[in-house]
Structure 1
Amino acid sequence: MAESLVPIPDIEQLSPQVIRVLGGNPGKFTLQGTNTYIIGTGTQRILLDTGEGKPAWLTSIKKVLSEQNINIATALLSHWHHDHIDGVPDLLSHSPSTEVYKRDPKEGWKDISDGQTFSTEGATLTAFHCPGHTKDHMAFVLAEEKAMFTADNVLGQGTAVFEDLATYMDSLAAMSKHSQFTGRAYPGHGPVIEDGRGKVLEYIKHRKEREKQVLDVLAKEKEDGWTSWDIVKVIYRDYPESLWKPAEMGVLQILGKLEKEGKIVKDKERGTWALSGKAAL
């Protein structure tokens, strides 16, 4: 069953270097709302992500900047989804001198390359390209805490969605092995994760278990073959039916990955799937 959301305040000082400001956009996919982070200890700070342009977010940002007498010198955007970048116009209306960075940037923004470093008083962030959730997805490692801002590859509650499962799994593996990531994870949605690497490994284990469940279903005899919806109804039978449709998207990603690996085959005419001779259960 879906877990209840942990209450998160609109503004919270999470560490000497990190303040979280909620995006004011709670929802089914955004959980408590998009996490945006003000990073550093001096008067010139770095902002990670900008929410989706909700007035509540700008009000919170203005409150923090005023109360702490600080400015946003640099804004980093983790990926292209609107709930992370649509607050940029509001940010620039209040802080027009802020430089905005994003991998594959829009006009007027600057690019982010893998390994690029962003520094301010009290904080050094290193960009880490980890596609899967999206092609442009970037995480950032905070040297002072050996922590990682995982954006939407790893969430504080629940599991993440992804554009390409194989790429996503490769990125999770790389995140789990990052030599400078031994502390917290600051996710794009949900509460702080104290054991960041442990959570990434948990995600990897979960995805592998889901993959095995799909293979186990396909190993069972079914006269007219297995559609993706048939598989969902078996694997998610103990979950509310309202979750089945989004779950099917994940199952289709698994099927696509397994097909590329030669473990299963698809009957395109019937829209069904079956094990091939290469499947390893």
Structure 2
Amino acid sequence: MAFRYLVGRGKDRILVDTGNGNAEYIQAFQSILSTRDLTLSKILVTHLHPAHAGGLDPLSRVTWVSSPTIMKHGHSPRGFPNLTSIKYTSLTDGIIIQTSDGDTTLKVLHTPGHTRDSIVFRLSEEDAIITGDTLVPHDGAASVVLEDPVAYLASLRRLDALFPKLAYPGHGDVVVPATDLIKRSIEEQMQLPERIIEALCSGGGIMDARDMVRRLIADAPEEARRNFTGTVLQHLLELEKRGKVRKRSVPKRVPSAAYEERDPDRIKGPGGLTLAQVSKLVKESRAKDDKVYGLKPVEKSQEKGKDFSGAESGKSGKLERSEVVQLHPAHRELEPLVEVVWSVV
């Protein structure tokens, strides 16, 4: 459950984020407004993830004395449908939003990275920011799920330039001073590409994203590793653009028998290594993982793939494909890259 903030000091209030639309919350929220004789002029959302915007539809069906204006960014997050078909006013960077009595002012900051539509609101009267999921207390870069790491780093730097005294996050405690968390988050994001390269080098310079994740966060729970796999793939693609790493178009787990008829000492991949050399490096890397981190072999599915010559399953030279991994919805488009083997340039 994400936090919701009822902003304002006078009779009129602004609601920032709606929660997931739980019926008990909607009823309690109406009771608070009625008991305190408050009005609600605007409903704002930091981004359209269900935990933050799932209450838009239920709140839009409430009978209000004066219906509040619903405001959100025009985009929707990757991997999530637009949660509402109700009418809304688009939030654009730099606009000023006030309560009807003018006692509270919010400035809209478009801060993409966590999602394309992420918004941070600057609360002028408190020198504070309401951050949604753009800035939350967290335990290392591995716990931050991003759609775009490059945009996210730029957004963090923008927040850093504001020098806010405190941050009201979508999850976790209020952050005081906010600048400490912002600077730590920037440092983590800047260090992550080098940490990925170090993990790749420590395994002999060739491995897939899941092996890198095991080296980077060996003790993390399965969901955290799944989410971080998408983050690692995003950074690998950026590192590839910079000429730091390259893809190896070689299946990750291939029984040695599959190579026998293909002359592994002669066939070379895109990087110039023979299939036998690649297979040896991958096996050595995995054996080192098992020894150092106490890792268990990944289960293989029964699904059969094709061999290098395109032979159908059941014929000689067939390859076993490891179990398909489902990434976080924000990273779903990266799933074809999960088993791609990477190497340092």
TM-score, structure 1 as length reference: 0.79
Match of residue 116, structure 1, among 68, 85, 95: 95
| 1:131 match | 112
How far has the Cα of 1:162 moved from its partner? Answer: 0.8
SS at match of 1:219: helix
Greater mean alpha carbon deviation, residues 151-160 or residues 190-199: 151-160
| 2:326 match | none
Q: Answer whether contact 1:157 1:191 (CA < 8 A) is retained.
A: no
Q: Answer whether contact 1:103 1:112 (CA < 8 A) is retained.
A: yes
Whole-angstrom distance in 2 between the partners of 1:242 and 1:124: 39
The alignment yields a C-alpha RMSD, in angstroms, of: 1.9
Match of residue 160, structure 2, among 171, 176, 180: 176
1:227–1:45 Cα change, 3 Å: same
Alignment of 1:24-103 (within 5 A): 33-96=1-64, 97-103=67-73
Whole-angstrom distance in 2 between the partners of 1:70 and 1:89: 21
How far has the Cα of 1:214 moved from its partner? Answer: 0.7
> What one-letter code is carried by the residue in structure 2 that aligns with 1:246?
N
Match of residue 213, structure 2, among 206, 222, 232: 232
Q: Answer whether contact 1:36 1:188 (CA < 8 A) is retained.
A: yes
| 2:123 match | 142
Match of residue 160, structure 1, among 118, 138, 144: 144
1:239–1:38 Cα change, 3 Å: same
Aligned pair 1:266/2:247, yes or no? yes
| 2:254 match | none
Whole-angstrom distance in 1 between the partners of 2:109 and 2:15: 16
> What one-letter code is carried by the residue in structure 1 that aligns with 2:94?
G
Whole-angstrom distance in 1 between the partners of 2:156 and 2:63: 35
| 1:30 match | none
How far has the Cα of 1:88 moved from its partner? Answer: 1.3
Match of residue 104, structure 1, among 67, 74, 97: 74
Whole-angstrom distance in 2 between the partners of 1:259 and 1:153: 26
| 1:185 match | 167
TM-score, structure 2 as length reference: 0.65
Residue deviations 1:86-144, cap 9 Å, x none? 20122223354110011117551011110010112431000000101111111100001
| 1:24 match | none
Could you tell me which runs of 5 or more consecutive residues in structure 1 were left unpaired when the two chains were aligned: 1-32, 277-281
Which one has the bigger helix percentage? Answer: 2
Whole-angstrom distance in 2 between the partners of 1:95 and 1:209: 50
1:51–1:241 Cα change, 3 Å: closer
> What one-letter code is carried by the residue in structure 1 that aligns with 2:190?
K
Whole-angstrom distance in 2 between the partners of 1:57 and 1:157: 26
Figure out how many residues of one structure are paired with residues of the other and give that number: 241
1:108–1:242 Cα change, 3 Å: closer
Residue deviations 1:224-278, cap 9 Å, x none? x2100111111112334553222212211221222223222112344111222xx
Q: Answer whether contact 1:65 1:71 (CA < 8 A) is retained.
A: yes
SS at match of 2:43: strand
| 1:13 match | none
Could you tell me which runs of 5 or more consecutive residues in structure 2 were left unpaired when the two chains were aligned: 76-84, 252-339
Whole-angstrom distance in 1 between the partners of 2:228 and 2:133: 17
SS at match of 2:195: helix
Whole-angstrom distance in 2 between the partners of 1:63 and 1:197: 36
Greater mean alpha carbon deviation, residues 131-140 or residues 101-110: 101-110
Greater mean alpha carbon deviation, residues 151-160 or residues 36-45: 151-160
| 1:208 match | 190
After the TM superposition, list the runs of 4 or more consecutive aligned residues in structure 1 that deviate by more than 4 angstroms.
Answer: none
Q: Percent identity?
A: 29
Match of residue 251, structure 1, among 202, 225, 232: 232
> What one-letter code is carried by the residue in structure 2 that aligns with 1:88?
L
How far has the Cα of 1:210 moved from its partner? Answer: 2.7
